[in-house]
Structure 1
Amino acid sequence: MKINKLSIVIPAYNEARTIHLILDKIKAVELIDDIEKEVIIVNDCSKDETEAAINNYRQQNPDLNIQYYKHEVNKGKGAALHTGIAHATGDYLIIQDADLEYDPHEYNDMLKPICNGFADVVYGSRFMGSNPHRILFFWHTIGNRWLTFASNMFANMNLTDMETCYKLFDTKLIQSIQLTEQRFGFEPEVTIKLSRVPKLRLYEVGISYYGRTYEEGKKIGWKDGVRAIYCILKYGLFKAK
């Protein structure tokens, strides 16, 4: 399948220290089949110098197609993703966190099932494959696996990593799905709603994971896990729209 443009959607909140580093990695990636890159950054009302860092990078790197949007109040990661998805013009789009936990050099691994005509959606799994994975929190890992298991029960899927950041979508498909979760409930909501799309072809690809500690800026916590459970029940058991 021929893909002309890939939209890279980046929600950013207080990422002034790392946003330029992830953009450098994205810029350095040469996509297969000469696919064009469109970078969409949504600043979710950061309190640090994120906006200045982005504007400075855009001025110094005019050859990288960066579209910038800003929320005037903090709404959450899910809301930032809604904004980015709505503005995407690529044939496909991938979600990229603004930190350095995920490696853009693996975009091509994610794209292969699409380009080869097998998939409509591809998830990058941190729990499969032989790529490097930083060893961090035991209970965080158990929580991720449990949430994936619970999501799989209602979605009737066999995913290994529902909570992964790296999700690659057919842009028109994801824009056609009504998404409402404003924060980290985005992951179970989009997964369960995708499971209801007729004849959807969803693949997983093993990816590396360079996780951050909370001291290094990791933001997700136990409250987000509780919200994820609520969302799995809301969209899975009660089939909310």
Structure 2
Amino acid sequence: MSIITKLSIIIPAYNEGKTIHHILDKVKNVNLSHNIKKEIIIVNDCSSDNTKEAIEAYIDKEPEVDIQYFEHKVNSGKGAALHTGISKATGEYLVIQDADLEYDPNEYEDLLKPILLGFADIVYGSRFMGSNPHRILFFWHTIGNKFLTFLSNMFTNLNLTDMETCYKVFKTEIIKGVNLKEKRFGFEPEVTAKVARISGIRIYEIGISYYGRTYEEGKKIGWKDGFRAIYAILKYALFKSR
């Protein structure tokens, strides 16, 4: 079995002033087994709304919660925010948590199970497997996600069902040793390509819930990000071949 004393929860935030306190409440209220402590690392990617004020108000209201707050002076993208968060993590493992309400922190325990049992170094949470709740939204987004996962799998020789998922748990020392470059939504295919090449790496996948948002509700990823993901898949596959 693997021993975890602290889980670092990395939350990249951009214009999430309306919802950031809700996700922080959810994370705060998660009770992890084995006395695992939670370290919340928020990286505000130069939001133009009241995200900063909302986070500072929450920290003042909940001083007992272990929250570390960092901010970018220039909007650099989700990947860049994750780079900052990863560099600040001190837990043995870390999980990526979006600042919106699309993913349920109550499923951390499920994500950690293969790790705690000593089977996994990395766990992906799949929106496309299992019987968990899944909001019905965009057909072409689903097709796009599955195509990107298929293309990624072709080059990595993995059999993931959801490469683009937010929920990824990494052994911290492993992900800190990966030289990550992508600053925006190319993070997902890049990190997948690079961890897949680590000798002896053990990657697991479990089904998770997905409470997706519409664009009116604040969803940000679009078709341009899909093309960037294709570029990243090909770029890091070709880099491997060289």
Q: What residue number does 2:160 align with?
A: 159
Partner SS state of residue 190, structure 2: helix
* Residues 96-126 of structure 1, C-alpha deviations (whole Å, 9 max, x = no match): 0000000000000000000000000000000
Q: What residue number does 1:7 align with?
A: 8
Check whether the contact 1:234–1:240 (CA below 8 A) recurs between aligned residues.
no
Q: What residue number does 2:198 align with?
A: 197
Return the TM-score normalized by structure 2.
0.98
Q: What residue number does 2:181 align with?
A: 180
**Structure 2, unaligned runs of 5 or more:** none
Aligned-pair CA distance for 1:239? 2.5
Partner SS state of residue 124, structure 2: strand
* Residues 100-159 of structure 1, C-alpha deviations (whole Å, 9 max, x = no match): 000000000000000000000000000001110000000000000000000000000000
Write the letter of the residue equivalent to 1:95. Answer: I
Return the TM-score normalized by structure 1.
0.99
Q: What residue number does 2:172 align with?
A: 171
> For residues 53-72 of structure 1, what are the structure 2 equivalents within 5 Å?
53-72=54-73
TM superposition outliers: structure 1 runs of 4+ over 4 Å: none
Compared CA separation, residues 222 and 31, structure 1 to 2 (3 A): same
Aligned-partner Cα distance in 1 for 2:168–2:117 = 17
Aligned-pair CA distance for 1:236? 1.2
Write the letter of the residue equivalent to 2:45. Answer: D
> For residues 1-241 of structure 1, what are the structure 2 equivalents within 5 Å?
1-239=2-240
* Residues 56-107 of structure 1, C-alpha deviations (whole Å, 9 max, x = no match): 0001101110000000000000000000000000000000000000000000
Aligned-partner Cα distance in 2 for 1:161–1:48 = 31
Write the letter of the residue equivalent to 1:20. Answer: H
Write the letter of the residue equivalent to 1:77. Answer: K
Aligned-pair CA distance for 1:237? 3.0
Aligned-partner Cα distance in 2 for 1:237–1:137 = 31
Write the letter of the residue equivalent to 1:230. Answer: Y
Aligned-partner Cα distance in 1 for 2:81–2:9 = 13
Q: Provide the aligned C-alpha RMSD in A.
A: 0.9
Aligned-partner Cα distance in 2 for 1:95–1:230 = 23
Percent of aligned pairs with the same amino acid:
71
Aligned-pair CA distance for 1:34? 1.1
Aligned-partner Cα distance in 1 for 2:199–2:223 = 34
**Structure 1, unaligned runs of 5 or more:** none
Aligned-pair CA distance for 1:240? 8.2
